[in-house]
């Protein structure tokens, strides 16, 4: 019998404020997801696991490597621009399983591709999903990846995203998190060669007893690289959210620019959000900024709307949608993304996110 792996604890900084203490892997049996793809088959390649994640980030990344039997590898040839959005939808159809999907995107020199990966389950499906995505953008490649969490309220998700940008490349990682019970995403974006660019954007909304947990690292390992991060979230009822982020500019990364912004709305007295930005700068001649806020809806905005005859519940919905507009406007036009405002509205009304 394979021994149950030792899990991390909240005493570790990277797991502080999390719900990891509630997880018992012995409650889950190895299972699989029902996966649908659109446009992927023409670009499928051999398994390239480890292309970006050279070392396992933690025990869940290791379990993914050991148990991911059929990774999806997308290889975009040099110079090819993929006009259509590639779509991957994972369905969690049964309770009591743990699944380890893995996606590798390898974009060749001066290529372009957009990939949307969606995770779906129904309320009442009590399972665990531990996905890994690896993204490499070769010289001047342009890669956009969108992760959509539309899981039911009883499914856990513990995910890893890692990207590697080569000379003059652009990698964009988007996360839309509305579903799940406890949903965690740990992202490391590394700019490995001069002129590389990265963007990380997330929209998250938790209500009931949900929790969204984000840990990000922006690594500048070469001169004149640029990274920009914008995460916006809202929590309501007894929901919680955590964001901790690190900008790491290495000694040889002169002329780099890095920006990190996290904004949070607390919509109920029982809701709680934590935001911890950090900087580690090993050289001069750089531009860096980080900002974070946690607080309720601006009462002036609410009063303005209500003074014009708008009902309080509708006024709150309009303010929240306006708060998220900055993120929504950055998202690519793709399936599952274009109707995001409607999904947020339904969640505000308590009618689901699917």
Q: Does pLDDT of 250 surpass 50?
A: yes
Q: How far apart are the first and last CA of the chain?
A: 39
Look at residue 347 and tell me if it is in a domain. no
What residues does 186 pair with on adjacent strands?
160, 215
Q: For residue 303, what pLDDT is reported?
A: 65
Number of C-beta neighbours around residue 236 at 10 A: 21
Decide if 72 is inside a domain.
yes
DSSP conformation class of 154? T
Helix ranges, the chain (H): 59-67, 299-306, 312-328, 340-349
3-class SS of residue 19: coil
Who wins on pLDDT, 140 or 343?
A: 140
Q: How confident is residue 352, by pLDDT bands cut at 50, 70 and 90? A: low
CB atoms within 10 A of CB 298: 12
Q: Which two tokens stand for residue 108?
A: 């060749």
Alpha-carbon gap, residue 82 to 84, rounded angstroms: 6
Query: With bands split at pLDDT 50, 70 and 90, how would you rate the model's confidence at 1?
Result: very low
- 329 is a domain residue: no
Residue 88 has pLDDT above 80, yes or no: yes
Nearest Cα residue to 49 out of 134, 164, 147: 134
352 located within any domain: no
Please give the model's pTM, rounded to 2 decimal places: 0.94
Among all chains, which residue has been given the structure tokens 């003059």?
168
- Asked if the structure places residue 245 within a domain, the reply is yes
Say what percent of the chain tops pLDDT 70: 96
The two three-digit tokens of residue 47, written as one number: 């398994």
When comparing pLDDT for 307 and 84, which is higher? 84
Tell me what pLDDT residue 170 has: 98
Predicted local confidence at residue 90, as pLDDT: 97
Residue found by looking up tokens 């159809």 in the block: 93
How many domains does the chain contain in total? 1
Contacts of 118 (CB under 8 A, 6+ apart): 87, 88, 89, 90, 147, 148, 150, 336
Structure tokens at 21: 């203490």
Tell me how far apart the alpha carbons of residues 201 and 171 are, in angstroms, rounded to a whole number. 11
Domain annotation covers residue 323: no
User: By CB neighbour count within 10 A (0-12 exposed, 13-18 middle, 19+ buried), where does 352 fall?
Assistant: middle
Query: How confident is the model at residue 296, as a pLDDT?
Result: 83
Opening angle at CA 58, ends 197 and 263, nearest 5: 50
| SS3 label, residue 74 | strand
Would strands 170-177 and 240-249 be described as parallel, antiparallel, or unpaired? unpaired
pLDDT at residue 91, as a whole number = 98
Mean pLDDT of 13-35: 95
Rg (CA), the chain: 20
Residue 275 is assigned to a structural domain of this protein: yes
Question: By residue range, what is the domain housing residue 184?
Answer: 13-295
| pLDDT at 331 (0 to 100) | 86
pLDDT higher than 60, residue 193: yes
Separation CA 199–CA 279 (nearest Å): 17
In a domain, 311, yes or no: no
The pLDDT of residue 139 is above 50: yes
pLDDT at 297 over 90: no
Phi, psi (5° rounding) for residue 143?
A: -120, 130
Q: Residue 175: pLDDT above 80?
A: yes
Q: What is the DSSP string of 185-232?
A: EEEEEEE-STT-EEEEEEEEEE-TT-EEEEEEEEEE-STT-EEEEEEE
């Amino acid at each position: 019998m394979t021994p149950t792996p030792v899990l991390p604890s909240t005493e570790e900084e990277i797991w502080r404020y999390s719900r990891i203490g509630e997880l018992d892997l012995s409650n889950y049996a190895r299972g699989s997801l029902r996966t649908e793809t659109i446009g992927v088959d023409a670009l499928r390649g051999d398994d390239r696991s480890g292309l970006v994640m050279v070392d396992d980030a933690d025990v869940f990344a290791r379990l993914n490597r050991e148990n991911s039997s059929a990774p999806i590898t997308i290889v975009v040839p040099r110079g090819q621009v993929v006009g259509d959005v590639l779509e991957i939808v994972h369905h969690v159809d049964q309770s009591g399983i743990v699944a380890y999907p893995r996606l590798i995107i390898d974009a060749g020199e001066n290529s372009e591709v957009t990939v949307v990966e969606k995770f779906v389950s129904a309320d009442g499906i009590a399972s665990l999903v531990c996905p890994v995505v690896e993204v490499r953008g070769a010289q001047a490649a342009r890669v956009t990846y969108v992760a959509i969490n539309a899981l039911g309220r009883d499914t856990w998700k513990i995910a890893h995203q890692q990207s590697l940008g080569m000379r003059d490349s652009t990698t964009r990682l988007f996360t839309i998190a509305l579903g799940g019970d406890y949903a965690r995403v740990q992202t490391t974006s590394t700019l490995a060669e001069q002129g590389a660019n990265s963007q990380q954007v997330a929209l998250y909304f938790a209500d009931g007893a949900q929790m969204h947990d984000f840990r990000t690292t922006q690594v500048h390992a070469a001169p004149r690289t640029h990274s920009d991060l914008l995460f916006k979230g809202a929590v309501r009822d007894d929901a919680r959210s955590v964001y901790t982020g690190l900008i790491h500019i290495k000694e040889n990364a002169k002329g780099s620019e890095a920006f990190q912004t996290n904004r949070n709305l607390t919509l109920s007295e029982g809701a709680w959000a934590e935001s911890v930005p950090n900087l580690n700068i090993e050289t001069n001649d750089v531009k860096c900024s980080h900002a974070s806020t946690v607080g309720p809806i601006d009462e002036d905005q609410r009063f303005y709307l209500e003074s014009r005859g708008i009902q309080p519940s509708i006024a709150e919905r309009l303010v929240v949608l306006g708060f998220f507009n900055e993120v929504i406007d950055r998202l690519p036009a793709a399936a599952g993304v274009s109707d995001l405002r409607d999904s947020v509205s339904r969640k505000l009304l308590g009618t689901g996110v699917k």
